[in-house]
């Protein structure tokens, strides 16, 4: 079989580069006496993975000169109380971005929560207005992980126009929006899911393969066309080790571009959250 030189994506370095640009812009804004942009993260319950993610978001905010706030709410909070908290944050003049960490406990409806957030402050891009704006190709916040994936592909000069992009997973936060962004860039997009038949045959056709299903090492070497760009969004913990949806080691020598399970898509997602928060700030400040 053809041997390919695989480039492992350094998501941390890419993220650092973009964060520097954001930090520079924030410094320019605040040195003229303006307030800092502010992100508010709401966590319901105390899921350890979510706690670790929100710490990462807080650190990222600090690194670019944003204010940030974490609101920790009890696991058994009612839907009404959570919505009331969101209404309060919508009205708070100093909060630019609101992110309600997912997953939520099962008694809470993520769609109702997304609909309660002021679309301008909806830095996750999950409000129907933002999701609809993506579909129509009009301005609005785009979901962070899909934005980060597009940035990775662009920075590695992966051609999208005319490419066959295969997306594994149809979530509202990754699968559907990344498929739409790839379509906007003139890729031919196939979305696969749990009922897709003969999945390996479909993925083998992909020039760009995005895996976002949450099944450890599902994508094997013989699922991937030599020379494909493979973006692994999966975060699975196996024996205390972080593994993606892709069999990372097995894809060396097959994929042309490959994201690692750690330091790949993750840092880019948080960086795009900063990007969206800065955009929300600019809109709110009339800049
Ligand atoms: N949980 C894991 N990733 C995300 C994300 O991008 N946004 C939200 N709100 N929750 C998440």
Ligand 1 contact, 101 CB (< 6 A): yes
pTM over 0.85: yes
pLDDT digit string, tens, across residues 88-133? 999 999 999 999 999 999 999 999 999 999 999 999 999 999 999 9
Q: How far apart are CA 125 and CA 143, in angstroms?
A: 5
Is 173 touching ligand 1 by the criterion CB < 6 Å? yes
Instruction: Copy the structure tokens of residue 256.
Output: 């042309």
Ligand 1 touching residue 99 (CB < 6 A): yes
Label residue 81 by pLDDT band (50, 70, 90): very high
Ligand 1: which atom is nearest the Cα of residue 102? 10
Residue nearest (by alpha carbon) to ligand 1 atom 1: 102
Q: Quick check: CB of 95 below 6 Å from ligand 1? A: no
Q: How far is the CA of 1 from the centre of ligand 1 (A)?
A: 39
* Shortest-distance Cα residue to atom 4 of ligand 1: 102
CB 209 within 8 A of CB 166: yes
Predicted local confidence at residue 167, as pLDDT: 99
Tell how far the Cα of 47 is from the centroid of ligand 1, in angstroms: 13
Which residue's alpha carbon is at the smallest distance from atom 11 of ligand 1?
102
Q: What is the pLDDT of residues 36-47, one digit of tens each?
A: 999 999 999 999
Is the pLDDT reported for residue 176 higher than 70?
A: yes
Three-state secondary-structure class, residue 126: coil
Atom of ligand 1 nearest to the CA of 273: 6
Instruction: Give nearest CA residue, ligand 1 atom 2.
Output: 102
Distances (CA, A) of 116 to 37, 89, 97, 113, 121: 21, 10, 13, 5, 11
Element (H, E) at 44: strand 38-44
Active-site annotation, residues = 57, 101, 124
- Is the Cβ atom of 243 under 6 angstroms away from ligand 1? no
CATH 1.10.10.10 fits 143-265, yes or no: no
pLDDT at 195: 98
Q: What is the mean pLDDT of the chain?
A: 97
CATH of domain 35-121: 3.40.50.10860
Q: Which atom of ligand 1 sits closest to the CA of residue 144?
A: 6
Identify the band that residue 3 occupies on the pLDDT scale cut at 50, 70 and 90: confident
* Cβ-contact 21, 271 below 8 angstroms: no
pLDDT at 243: 97
Ligand 1: which atom is nearest the Cα of residue 50? Answer: 1
pLDDT category at 212 given cuts 50, 70, 90 is very high
**Domains of the chain by residue range:** 35-121, 143-265
Question: Is residue 100 in contact with ligand 1, taking CB distance under 6 Å?
Answer: yes
The CB of 144 under 6 Å from ligand 1? The reply is yes
Q: How far apart are CA 165 and CA 205, in angstroms?
A: 9
6 three-class SS: coil
């Amino acid at each position: 079989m053809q041997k390919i030189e695989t480039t492992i994506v350094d998501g941390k370095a890419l993220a650092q580069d973009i964060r520097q640009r954001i930090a520079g812009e924030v410094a320019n804004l605040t040195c003229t006496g303006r307030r800092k942009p502010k992100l508010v993260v709401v966590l319901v319950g105390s899921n350890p993975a979510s706690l670790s993610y929100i710490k990462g978001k807080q650190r990222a905010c600090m690194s670019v000169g944003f204010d940030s706030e974490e609101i920790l709410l009890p696991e058994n909070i009612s839907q009404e109380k959570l919505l009331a908290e969101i209404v309060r944050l919508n009205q708070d003049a100093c909060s630019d971005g609101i992110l309600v960490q997912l997953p939520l406990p099962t008694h809470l409806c993520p769609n109702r929560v997304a609909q309660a957030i002021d679309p301008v402050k909806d830095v996750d891009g999950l409000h129907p207005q933002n999701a609809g704006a993506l579909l129509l190709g009009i301005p609005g916040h785009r979901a962070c992980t899909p934005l980060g994936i597009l940035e990775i592909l662009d920075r590695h000069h992966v051609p999208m126009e005319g490419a066959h992009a295969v997306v594994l997973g149809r979530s509202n936060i990754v699968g559907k929006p990344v498929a739409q962004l790839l379509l906007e860039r003139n890729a031919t997009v196939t979305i696969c899911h749990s009922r897709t038949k003969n999945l390996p045959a479909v993925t083998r056709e992909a020039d760009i393969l995005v895996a976002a299903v949450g099944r450890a090492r599902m994508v094997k070497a013989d699922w991937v066309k030599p020379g494909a760009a493979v973006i692994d969004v999966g975060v699975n913990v196996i024996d205390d080790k972080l593994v993606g949806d892709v069999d990372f080691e097995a894809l060396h020598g097959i994929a042309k571009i490959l994201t690692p399970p750690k330091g790949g898509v993750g840092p880019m997602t948080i960086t795009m959250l900063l990007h969206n928060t800065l955009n929300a700030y600019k809109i709110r400040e009339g800049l």
